[in-house]
Amino acid sequence: MGARTKARKRALDVLFEADQRKVDAGTLLADRLVEPGTEASLPQYAVELVEGVLERRERIDELLETYSHGWTIDRMPSVDRALLRIGTWEVLYNDDVPDAVAIDEAVDLARALSTDDSPDFVNGLLGRILDLKPTLLG
- Please give the angle made by the CA atoms of 129, 66 and 84, to the nearest 5 degrees: 50
pLDDT (tens digit, 0 to 9) for every residue of the chain, 138 residues total? 789 999 999 999 999 999 999 999 999 999 988 876 666 789 999 999 999 999 999 999 999 999 998 889 999 999 999 999 999 999 999 999 999 999 999 999 999 999 999 999 999 999 999 999 999 887
| pLDDT at residue 38, as a whole number | 64
Domains and CATH numbers, the chain: 3-137 (1.10.940.10)
| pLDDT at residue 76, as a whole number | 94
**Do the beta carbons of residue 86 and residue 49 sit within 8 Å?**
yes
Query: What is 18-62 written as a DSSP string?
Result: HHHHT--HHHHHHHHHH--TTSPPPPHHHHHHHHHHHHHHHHHHH
| pLDDT at residue 19, as a whole number | 95
